[in-house]
Amino acid sequence: MRLLIMLVLLIAAQVDAQTIRWQEQFPGVWKGTFGQPEQYTLLSAADSKPKAVTLEQLQSIDFPLPKMEVHAELIDGKTYVRLPLTKNEQIYGLGLNFQTVHQRGKILNLHVDHYGGKDNGRTHAPVPFYVSSKGYGVLINSAQYLTYYVGTGVRKDAKVKPEAKDRNTDKTWSSRPYSDAVEIYIPAAGVEIYVFAGISPLDAIKRYNLYCGGGTLPPRWGLGFTQRVQKLYNADAVIKEAAEFEEHGFPLDFIGLEPGWQSRAYPCTFEWDKNRFPDPAALTKKLMDKGIRLNLWTNPYISPEASISQDIAPYTGSHTVWNGVVPDLNHPDAKRIMAKQMDSAQLEIGVSGYKIDEVDGYDYYLWPDMAKFPSGISGIQMRQTYGVLAQKLTDSLFRKQNRRTYGLVRASNAGANNMPYVIYNDYYSHQDFITALVNSGFCGVLWTPEVRGSKTGEEWLRRFQSVVFSPMAMINAWSSGTKPWSFPEVADQIKYYAQLRMQLMPYLYSEFAKYHFEGTPPFRAMVLEEGFQGHADAVVGNRDLETNPYLEAVNKEVKDQYMCGEYILVAPLFTGESSRKVLLPKGNWYDFYSGKYVGNGAEIVAHPELDRIPVYVKDGGIIPMMASRLHAPTADEKVDLTIRHYGTKAGKYNLYDDDGLSFDYEKGMYAWRSVLVKKNKHGQLTGEISKPEHGKPNTYGTVRFEFMTK
């Protein structure tokens, strides 16, 4: 009898070991546990806390996949996960890709790296989260290198099998036959799988973002303009640069110092260079008095000449980078020593943030996979999460001071959705930069298509126009020294767009608040827009993923236009182009500049002059704007608004307000003002805004409505 019980238990244990144990954590959010998941994961590294109250209130929804078809098994001590795909289902996400939006038909090896010109999984944020066109998302919570076969492998026991065809005679033969599954290889003896349901793909993304703490809410100044100066600038040159911006009447909220602020760089000392910056406290103060902040470039590798080098030595990895030691940012002592240095030499004198460089690779510029770290995590786990750990560390320093930061980083991963950092890189294809912006919204990261230099005024203006509609409006002149006005033939047009960025601040700030509180990415792909998917099908004919998923995916993706916030559609032009096709979702759309009707659910051709980037607004769209100014408003200012309305429909908008600087919004010190445009009985449009709430932040002054569509 006892033997029988033991046998039953043994079989049960084995069955259990091969099944995924699902647990619904919030409405529409499931965690599946398989085998023995590792302790150190992407989510444990990021340590973000789900926005539980918001998630609890979401509509409950059924598990979005046939549970029995979500399969996991151990093969040679490694985990293999399979999720079903159906015909015509498309897959988006899987990290910050630069050339493709559709991932079905691809094999990706997710690996933190500097982007190398191919969407093969090696990128700055290889986030193992995908979202399906059917409205659900899947996250594999593992800090290993993961291999995804996204609808490529065809199993003998596939539920929906493609037919073998004769290549000699059959024109429909395909080298990549239909596959009915996403298959994932995880080099660990177990894993956590998260499934996010939704009523639409965007809804699933929102759940994912909320689960990871909600998106970041930058300080208002973070949405202003930033110039990074040449790497060997000194304090006088920085002051002069700030003065030049003012003379030119050009907005500037923060200046970025490149490697030369440090006494040694690559590896770094984290100390000011005494010759170039004899009195950094005086510099930050002088700039701050003018409303300009300072952001500092660094990489985390510590020079033997750094004053902290002895102290930190025991808490560094087995390998060096450029002969500098690599702090184990998963080790409390390494974090403590770094924090002390940054606090005392930089934060305490008012530095506003960092640009965390070189945390992504290239391979030669990092430690090898077999590197060891004192906290016990592997070289691979450290690589997959180093950018996230660096973001966490610096963010925590600013949090302690109750002031928000907004900086740059070259690597990130799942879970860092609420970190105040924007990804950038050294690659410079304008087209691919826009595709990265499109893809950033699928994976909970922010990306800037930064402007560095240009061959012609045309290129300068085209690049500038699109960076203005991005999470960080930045010129990175660390090498080129280019100024906004460097191309006199387009200087006025550049200024128009820099000023437009400032005018849009109330809108952009509210859109970021929606990222934070609701999980809606402020910059996102057209396929996430209601009325777009169906339309795209109509325009491109019936998609036929069955016969050739790869070709279909490549041909039909829309990767050069995107949504900026709730109502704005941006369709950049690239150097040499004088016209472009724009796909408008269903519903009426209007020109941003003139308010004129442009189309409905159609492909239109835009042929703007060089001085215009095509921008469109949805019917009923409401865009709160302010007068252009040189610096973001301070917390105690009142800013007058001009609220634009487009089209003929009534409309509504949730306008966000808080002090723009601190974390007090996390304690309830924020307000949403409700903007309504209604039609009166004579068919005329009228606008109104709800009263400010007593005892809540109120930084808006008078409100004027402008009806753009006459």
Give the one residue of 241, 358, 560, 659 binding ligand GAL; rule: CB under 6 A.
358
The least distance separating ligand GAL from the CB of residue 256, rounded to whole angstroms, comes to 8
In terms of CB distance, is 220 or 410 closer to ligand GAL? 410
Please say whether the beta carbons of 140 and 414 come within 8 A.
no
In terms of CB distance, is 358 or 657 closer to ligand GAL? 358
In terms of CB distance, is 479 or 578 closer to ligand GAL? 479
The least distance separating ligand GAL from the CB of residue 454, rounded to whole angstroms, comes to 16
| φ, ψ for residue 533, nearest 5 deg | -55, -50
The least distance separating ligand GAL from the CB of residue 583, rounded to whole angstroms, comes to 33
Q: Which residues pair with 24 in a beta bridge?
A: 30
Q: Contacts with ligand GAL in 102-131 (CB under 6 A)?
A: none
Give the one residue of 64, 259, 387, 620 binding ligand GAL; rule: CB under 6 A.
259
In terms of CB distance, is 176 or 231 closer to ligand GAL? 231
Mutual angle of helices 505-518 and 491-503, in 10-degree steps: 50
Which structure tokens are listed for 385? 């999460």
Q: Identify the DSSP state of 118.
A: S
| 421 in contact with ligand GAL (CB under 6 A) | no
| 192 in contact with ligand GAL (CB under 6 A) | no
The least distance separating ligand GAL from the CB of residue 142, rounded to whole angstroms, comes to 28
Which structure tokens are listed for 665? 């919004």
The site for ligand GAL, by CB under 6 A, has a size of 9
Please say whether the beta carbons of 699 and 505 come within 8 A.
no
For residue 8, what are the contacts with CB-CB under 8 A and spacing of at least 6? none
Give the one residue of 192, 357, 458, 657 binding ligand GAL; rule: CB under 6 A.
357
For residue 500, what are the contacts with CB-CB under 8 A and spacing of at least 6? 468, 628
Query: How many CB atoms neighbour CB 495 within 10 A?
Result: 18
> How far apart are the C-alpha atoms of 79 and 384, rounded to whole Å?
18
The least distance separating ligand GAL from the CB of residue 282, rounded to whole angstroms, comes to 25
Which structure tokens are listed for 704? 């004027």
In terms of CB distance, is 453 or 457 closer to ligand GAL? 453
The least distance separating ligand GAL from the CB of residue 237, rounded to whole angstroms, comes to 16
The least distance separating ligand GAL from the CB of residue 357, rounded to whole angstroms, comes to 5
In terms of CB distance, is 297 or 616 closer to ligand GAL? 297
What is the per-residue DSSP string for 358-383?
S-S--GGGS--TT-B-TTS-BHHHHH
Consecutive H or E run containing 281: helix 280-289
Whether the CA torsion 554, 557, 558, 562 is positive or negative: it is: negative
Torsion of CA 505, 508, 510, 512, to 10 degrees: -130
> How far apart are the C-alpha atoms of 467 and 497, rounded to whole Å?
10
> How far apart are the C-alpha atoms of 412 and 422, rounded to whole Å?
9
In terms of CB distance, is 257 or 708 closer to ligand GAL? 257
Which structure tokens are listed for 472? 């960080």
The least distance separating ligand GAL from the CB of residue 478, rounded to whole angstroms, comes to 4
Find out whether the peptide bond into 194 is cis, omega within 30 degrees of 0.
Answer: no
In terms of CB distance, is 179 or 263 closer to ligand GAL? 263
Q: Which amino acid appears at position 644 of this protein?
A: R
Cα Rg, the chain, nearest whole Å: 26
In terms of CB distance, is 259 or 361 closer to ligand GAL? 259
Whether the CA torsion 356, 360, 365, 371 is positive or negative: it is: positive
| 476 in contact with ligand GAL (CB under 6 A) | yes
> How far apart are the C-alpha atoms of 263 and 277, rounded to whole Å?
9
Give the one residue of 78, 161, 231, 580 binding ligand GAL; rule: CB under 6 A.
231
| 271 in contact with ligand GAL (CB under 6 A) | no
Give the one residue of 56, 369, 426, 577 binding ligand GAL; rule: CB under 6 A.
426
The least distance separating ligand GAL from the CB of residue 482, rounded to whole angstroms, comes to 13
The site map against ligand GAL for 311-350 (x = CB under 6 A) is ----------------------------------------
The least distance separating ligand GAL from the CB of residue 450, rounded to whole angstroms, comes to 8
Question: Is residue 55 classed as helix, strand or coil in its secondary structure?
Answer: helix
| 481 in contact with ligand GAL (CB under 6 A) | no
Q: Is 54 exposed, middle or buried (0-12, 13-18, 19+ CB in 10 A)?
A: middle
Give the one residue of 221, 261, 297, 487 binding ligand GAL; rule: CB under 6 A.
297
| 395 in contact with ligand GAL (CB under 6 A) | no
In terms of CB distance, is 80 or 365 closer to ligand GAL? 365
The least distance separating ligand GAL from the CB of residue 259, rounded to whole angstroms, comes to 5
The least distance separating ligand GAL from the CB of residue 407, rounded to whole angstroms, comes to 12
The least distance separating ligand GAL from the CB of residue 209, rounded to whole angstroms, comes to 27
The least distance separating ligand GAL from the CB of residue 410, rounded to whole angstroms, comes to 6
| 258 in contact with ligand GAL (CB under 6 A) | yes
| 273 in contact with ligand GAL (CB under 6 A) | no
| Percent helix, strand and coil across the chain, each to the nearest 5 | 30, 25, 45
3-state secondary structure 120-151: CCEECCCCCEEEECCCEEEEECCCCCEEEEEC
In terms of CB distance, is 210 or 409 closer to ligand GAL? 409
Q: Which amino acid appears at position 471 of this protein?
A: P
Question: Is residue 429 classed as helix, strand or coil in its secondary structure?
Answer: coil
| 566 in contact with ligand GAL (CB under 6 A) | no
Which structure tokens are listed for 500? 């437009």
| 298 in contact with ligand GAL (CB under 6 A) | no
| 433 in contact with ligand GAL (CB under 6 A) | no
In terms of CB distance, is 183 or 357 closer to ligand GAL? 357
The least distance separating ligand GAL from the CB of residue 264, rounded to whole angstroms, comes to 13
User: Which among 152, 137, 139, 143 is positioned nearest to 182, based on CA atoms?
Assistant: 152
In terms of CB distance, is 357 or 657 closer to ligand GAL? 357
In terms of CB distance, is 362 or 401 closer to ligand GAL? 362
Give the one residue of 245, 398, 442, 478 binding ligand GAL; rule: CB under 6 A.
478
Residues that bind ligand GAL (CB under 6 A): 231, 258-259, 297, 357-358, 426, 476, 478
